[in-house]
Structure 1
């Protein structure tokens, strides 16, 4: 069962740890994900962001009081939208025990011609689910909030066709979004946060919460990057 969602004021200044692992990694086992999530929470994380119903369920069982932002990455034909793209994916994430459902809220065409506004409305009416809009621009963040998303994150800045030439973090989105979003909407900086200093910088720009993933839990990518750099140095 989902926990009551803290208000924006209660969440302000918090850290959400994205506990994920790539396909094929031994870190992707539900027990490993759950252990990393528990370690994050024990050390002060406000909540965790998890991918797939299996991992959401594992963490919910191990950490029943955790604040869980859930999503499901799905690669589907004829659409580049992959973060909780369809109604059936939203249902699965909610049923697994997420407190907030993260979904792609960009302007891109969704799989099976589903409509973002209809998905948001259906999530509210049929599930009563709080939603986090993963966006790539100021415009799409404002649209998502107007459609009913309680949380807006800069997650997809630099990862869509329209922003592919940009490099996250999306610091430039934060202040304009905070100025224009409704007071009650929680604003999250996510993507490209590589150090405590850059996390602090996102708060200084006006973010309420910071999501950090690879820099904390991305063992596969971190080790690969270290090795790549060391090998380059050795010629």
Structure 2
């Protein structure tokens, strides 16, 4: 198992509209995360993964986001994407393991092919306890709470912060290591996840998205004209 128990994993991702978008910036972000004590990196796309692989030996959870208007599943939806990011240097393949409609083969078959044909560990992003059970039964190495709040069935949970109740239920009922991910934005929440039995915690925006961090502080500013302090 590549992700050690008690690890903080940092998600180094930036969308195309973000000033930090691109392999050079994500590689630098991964190096900074490693220097800060991260024990793993989550990254999107072969180019970013290859750049990160060149600067760190930390385990990389690789994903490939592919949007299709016909289907809601976009995180590593098929074997071709898994094969590409494995070739770029991902040690672990992350994928959407929800029960939502998807193009191509079933998630159970995809997990099996990644394990058997690519010899990679599988990191299953799920939204419900039932999906967690199914992913574990299909051979996922890790089960993560990543998509709770981001599926139609669980949308009401998004405004409530991390889904700690799902985390506790998974720890109690699923034998695979359970990873807490999704809206963990304070050290106190990370500490609570470990108290509830998380194997590891993934943090993204709160560490690696300066634009969103700035917006969070700006929202807390007093309303009214802003004076130049210089």
Instruction: Compute the TM-score of the two structures, normalised by the length of structure 1.
Output: 0.90
Structure 1 runs not aligned, ≥5 long = none
Alignment of 1:136-151 (within 5 A): 136-151=127-142
2:53 to 35, 40, 60: 60
What residue in structure 2 maps to residue 77 of structure 1?
69
Deviation at 1:226, TM superposition (A): 3.0
- Does the 8 Å contact 2:125/2:145 carry over to 1? yes
Could you tell which deviates more after superposition, 16-25 or 220-229? 220-229
Q: Residue 76 of structure 1 aligns to a residue in which SS?
A: coil
The answer to whether the aligner puts 1:107 opposite 2:103 as a matched pair is no
The CA RMSD measured in Å over matched residues stands at 1.5
Deviation of 1:227 (Å): 3.2
Quote how far apart the aligned CAs of 1:129 are: 1.3
Once the two structures are superposed, the pairs formed by residues 154-173 of structure 1 within 5 Å of their partners are 154-167=145-158, 168-173=161-166
Which range moves more in the overlay, 25-34 or 153-162?
25-34
The question of whether the paired residues in 1 share the 8 Å contact of 2:114 and 2:120 is answered with: yes
Offset of 1:105 from its aligned partner? 0.2
Quick check: which one's helix share is greater? 1
Distance 2:206 2:7 in 1: 16
Of 85, 91, 94, which aligns to 2:83? 91
The alignment status of 1:219 with 2:215, answered yes or no, reads no
Q: Residues 114-157 of structure 1, C-alpha deviation per residue, up to 9 Å, x if partnerless? A: 21111111112211111000000111011000000010000000
Q: CA deviation digits over 1:47-69, x for unaligned, max 9?
A: 11111111100000111x11111
- Paired residues, number: 223
| Aligned counterparts of 2:147 and 2:155: Cα–Cα separation in 1 | 10
Per-residue deviation, 1:178: 1.3
Name 1:6's counterpart in structure 2. 2
Structure 2 residue runs without a partner (length 5+): 226-230
- The question of whether the paired residues in 1 share the 8 Å contact of 2:2 and 2:59 is answered with no
Q: What is the TM-score when the length of structure 2 is the normalising length?
A: 0.92
